[in-house]
Amino acid sequence: MTVKPKIAIIDYGMGNLRSVSKALELCGAVIDIISQADQIENYNAIVLPGVGSFAPAIKIIQETGLDIAIKKHLQNNKMFLGICLGFQLLFSQSYEEGTHKGLNIIKGTVEKFVPEEKKRLIIPHMGWNKINISDNKFAKQMYKDVTNNEYVYFVHSFYCKPEKKNIIATTTNYSIDFCSSIAIDNVWGCQFHPEKSSTIGLTILKNFVKKCEDYNVGN
């Protein structure tokens, strides 16, 4: 009998907690919402969601010690999923309303879409758009049973630009081809909202839960 993985959703005051929690529960996980850094060690996996601005988010995470706890969790080879702002916070630096250092778990920057009058680029990038799945071996786990060029739901004005291209799991075109998700062994992150992306999003979350089953509490 498979034991359901225990997954913690981190509440740092800027996350879409309810919809993420319900979606993961539908995918077979046991979900708790936590806000204390010392609680993280009790879980197989953590999810960092997020809606809002980079600077206040990273400030809260650093002030509460969540940054140290998240890095320790990853060093213990446990699963992590960052969603939207929670994905951007993984990066070295963001240029949203100034220059701000991130968690630096992923080397790279968070940059703003530049409006182009000829292309009538609307910011924020909001609504359904396609994902192009890469040949990254971990992308095959993240997107198992997902067909290439499926549509997922986005709401964002900034995009992530990783230094290492081989960690990119999907790209999406919005005037430019940008990194819409990454996958590196136990670290997954997506700019789109899987919890709002219908059956495709649930498939991605099921793949996350399935991989979490390989990680035991305390490892």
| Whether residue 41 lies in the annotated active site | no
Distance in angstroms (rounded) separating the CA atoms of residues 149 and 130: 5
Q: How many helices (H) and strands (E) does the chain have?
A: 6, 14
End-to-end alpha carbon distance in the chain = 20
| Whether residue 193 lies in the annotated active site | yes
Residue with tokens 């990254």: 136
Question: Which H or E run includes 182?
Answer: strand 176-184
Instruction: Tell me: cis bond preceding 49? Omega within 30 of 0 counts.
Output: no
Question: Which H or E run includes 161?
Answer: strand 158-162
Distance in angstroms (rounded) separating the CA atoms of residues 133 and 139: 7
Task: State how beta strands 168-174 and 176-184 pair.
Answer: antiparallel
Q: Find residue 27's DSSP bridge partners.
A: none
Q: Looking at 73, 150, 195, 212, which residue is catalytic?
A: 195
Within 10 A of 204 (CB to CB), how many other CB atoms are there? Answer: 30
Q: Looking at 27, 84, 160, 212, which residue is catalytic?
A: 84
| Whether residue 73 lies in the annotated active site | no
Distance in angstroms (rounded) separating the CA atoms of residues 88 and 74: 16
Task: State how beta strands 30-34 and 6-10 pair.
Answer: parallel
- The set of catalytic residues is 84, 193, 195
